[in-house]
Chains A and B, each alone.
Chain A
C-alpha cells in the first residue's frame, strides 16, 4: 500500500508539479497571482468532477471521462499558445493552463483517496505514502525550477523550448485518449524504445511528465506532438522578435 501510494502520487503529481515549475519561471514576478489563478479554477473543476463522476463517466457511450480529459489536455497547449499571442492576458491564460492539468491529475487522486473503499487500517500507509509522494515530487519540481530559472536568464529562447515540449506532451496525451476511445485512428507504432528507456522506470516517468516521452508512440500522437511543439516554438520566436 505504501509503495503503491508513493508511485501513484508521483505518477499523477509529477506532470502537474513540473508544469507548475515552468509556469512559475515564466511568471516569476507574479507568482502569487499565478498560484491563485491555477488553484481557484482547478479546485472548482475538481469539486464538480468529484460530485459527478458517475454521471460524467456515462456520457458519450461510457467515454465521458475521456472526453473531459481530452478537452482539458488540449486546452493546455491552446492556452499556452494564446498566452504567447496576448501578453496582456498572459497570467490568466497561463494560470488556466496549469488549472486544466491540475484538474485531470487531481481527479485521479481524488478518486483514489475518497472514492476508493479501503480498510481503516490502511489509512496510515496511505497518508505516509501521499506525504512521501508529494515530498519527492516537490523536490524534483524545485530543482527544475532553479535549473529553468538559470536557463531563462542565460537565454530566454531555451526556456521556450521546454514550454513547447511540455505543451506538446499534453497534445500527445489528448491524442492518446482520443485513440483509445476510437475517435481518432492511431496509425502504426513508429518505434519501440522500451529497451533504451523503459516507460515504467523512474527516468521514463520523469521524461514522460516533462516532455511526453513515449516508448511506443503512434503516428497520430507523434503528429499531434510535433505540430504543437512547432506552433509554440514559432509563436515564442515571433514574440522574441517583436520585443
Chain B
C-alpha cells in the first residue's frame, strides 16, 4: 500500500505545525523521518493516522484521495501507529492485550481467547517475533513489550506501520533485534515510517530519509548520500558538533564516597543492592544501565529524596546519609532530576519562580518571610540568558516552553551557582541535537571547573562520550566498570554488561 501526503498544512491557532508537507510512503520501504523536537513530526503522523484533520492538503492511498474523521478511520484504512509510550494493560496477557477492543467472540458474545492466541502465534511465525501469547505484560522486558505493540498493530491488519521514537527505551541489543523485525516487516511488503532524532539509527535502517524542520520538509536523501553531520545540520539549520570536546582526565580528590548503599522501592523490593563507588573532583562518572535497574533510586537517594535502607554516603569526608535534600543542596550538590515535568519543574509556575524553586529561602531572594521578587526576576533573566533558555519573557509559564528549553531551564537553575557535585539523570532525554550539544558542553565545563559529575543515562553513546569512568548497573548492583585505566569503554561490552551478561 502506498500513501501520498500532498501539501499538508496543520495549524493550531496561530502556530503552524506543518506547512505544505509532501511525503510519500511506499510498500516494502522504510521511510526515515528525522527532525528536532517540535519540528512537527508527531503532528504529521497524527494527521496520517486520522487523529487530526489537516487544514489544507490531501491524503492519497494508492492514488485515491481519502478523508479521515477520526483515529478509527486510519486503523480501518490499514495505518497503524506504534507509540513511544506503550499502551498495554500490565496485568493482562499478551493475547488479551492484542485483542483488546477487537476481541474475537464465541457464542453468546463470550471472549474467544483460543482464537486470539492462535492468531498471535500466526503473526509471531510470519515475522519472527517470538512472543509467548500467555505471558503477562508486567513480566516482560521493554523490548518484548514493544513487540506486543507491533503485534497489536499487525493484528488490526495494518499495512503501514508508524514507529514514533521506537528505540528510546531499548538497550543496544534490543535495538539490534528490533531492526531485525523492521527488516522482516519490510520483506513482507509493509510500508514503514521510522520517526527519530537519532542520526546513526536512521542511517542504518532507513531506505529513504526525509528531514523535517519547523514544520517543513527541508530535505530528502538516501542514507548513502549524506553523513550524520550533514543530516544534523539539515535538522538543526546550523552547523553542529556531534563530538564532545573533552580536556585530559586529571582527577582530583574523592568528593562523593558511597559505601554499601542499599535502597528499597516502595513495595520493599530491592532497588539498589549493596553498591559502593566514589566520584572525584574533575571527573565524570557515568552510570549505564537499562532503565529500571536501580539508577533512579540511586540518584534520588544521593539527592536526599529517597529513603536509604543501609550503607553510607559521604560528601567531602562528611557523612550525609541522613541529611535532608535542602541541606545537601546548600552543601553544593546539584541534582538534575530524571523526569523534569514530574520532579524538576512546576509547569504552571513562571520561569522566574521555577528558577528559585529550591533556593527561594536564600538571602539573595528573600528577607525573613518576604520574597524579594525583583531580585528573583533579575537573577532568572540573567540565568535564562546565560543558559540560552529561549522564551519571550521570564514571566512565561514553563509549560509553554519546549522540552529542550525546559531542560535548559533546569540545568540553568542547578548549575548557575557554586556547585561541587553535579548529579544529572538523563540530562538530554528527548532533546534535539542542538540542545544536547549545549548541555553536554555545560556538563564538561562543570567538570573542568572542578566539579565531580555523576551522569545516569540509558543512552549509551552519551555515557561513553561524556564519562571518564563508566559503571554498569544491573538489577541493583554495579556489575562492571569501564574506562580510566581499567577495561576500555567498548560499546559492545558495555551493552552486554547492561543486559546482565557476565564479563
* A associates with B: no
Residues of A within 8 A of B (CB): none
